[in-house]
Homo-oligomer: A and B are copies of this chain.
């Protein structure tokens, strides 16, 4: 079933078929109707490989993420994909699994499939691997990382806003010892978040509100472990902020396991606002980074460039906001005791 057979059946040339599909206005209304009818009768679907081969456009964008089973990503993928469908584009999703050899595979896929642009939303990126894409002039959008260049746009997240709101909130609740559990510091994204936290804390007068810090791994077990460490300290924090919600959930567990109560004994604030966070015990107060917005804006940047509506090389801003649920409350006056 190809364009030739459709042409034969409709008694027109292949060019007319192609035209009625791609620019119906350039063809006589009656012939167009006839062609369309034949197309439906024959259940004809144009072969995208062939179209891409000749047109040079695949109408396909690559989306590189770290790990689809990390709850940060599915929603991002979904909104990117929704936007794509809405505009008649397709998405080639690829996981790096946080490993650079997998990243190399991802990049190769994009080049071989000749996508019209790539969104790189991973937590860490080896710039070395991306030179291939850059040299081949693939339009790219990054999340935080990289610099803006002619064909490279960047979604920059305003971490400080949400974190500032959270710290102000905790301070107003009387907290002075505010802990922070970071992500794995080998990840650029984790370092970015940590710096934002430290920066905000300094704005509130660092020495007085001294922070207690530990390194997690952006997973539940890391948050659990790091929190246990903090609780074992002589003077543990009365409030803890974390680099992502999974870490906060781990902290929640550790606190509960120590026989302490959230928020009575310790307040906890997460980051990201994954769906899950509404369902923890207690429901988690957290800083929302809208993945829906992130996916949509990343797509838009690529789309507008592909359609010649706008140039790449933009900075796209996206905000964060504190969402209050039940994991924060006023600081205890006297220190609690670990009864377990």
**A residues adjacent to B (C-beta < 8 A):** 1, 43, 45-50, 52-53, 58, 67-69, 71, 73-75, 77-78, 81, 85, 90-93, 95, 102, 105, 108-109, 111-114, 132, 135-136, 220, 249, 253, 256, 275-276, 278-281
**B275–A45 contact, CB under 8 A?**
no
**A112–B81 contact, CB under 8 A?**
no
Q: How far is the CA of A278 from the CA of B50 in the complex (A)?
A: 48
Q: How far is the CA of A251 from the CA of B74 in the complex (A)?
A: 24
Q: How far is the CA of A279 from the CA of B247 in the complex (A)?
A: 12
Per a CB cutoff under 8 Å, which of B93, B108, B279 touches A93?
B93
Please state the number of chain copies in the assembly.
2
**B46–A49 contact, CB under 8 A?**
no
Closest to A95 in B: B81
Which residues from B are CB-within-8-Å of A50?
Answer: 49, 53
User: Chain A at the B interface: mostly helix, strand, loop or mixed?
Assistant: helix
Closest to A75 in B: B69
Closest to A88 in B: B105
**A78–B95 contact, CB under 8 A?**
yes
Which residues from B are CB-within-8-Å of A105?
Answer: 85
Which residues from B are CB-within-8-Å of A249?
Answer: 279
Q: How far is the CA of A45 from the CA of B85 in the complex (A)?
A: 28
Q: How far is the CA of A47 from the CA of B53 in the complex (A)?
A: 9
**B279–A45 contact, CB under 8 A?**
no
Using A78-B95, A95-B81, A132-B43 as known contacts, say yes or no to A68 and B69 having CB atoms under 8 A apart.
no
Using A220-B279, A279-B280 as known contacts, say yes or no to A69 and B58 having CB atoms under 8 A apart.
no
Q: How far is the CB of A56 from the nearest CB of chain B, in Å?
A: 10
Closest to A224 in B: B279
Per a CB cutoff under 8 Å, which of B53, B68, B92 touches A68?
B68
Which residues from B are CB-within-8-Å of A220?
Answer: 278-279
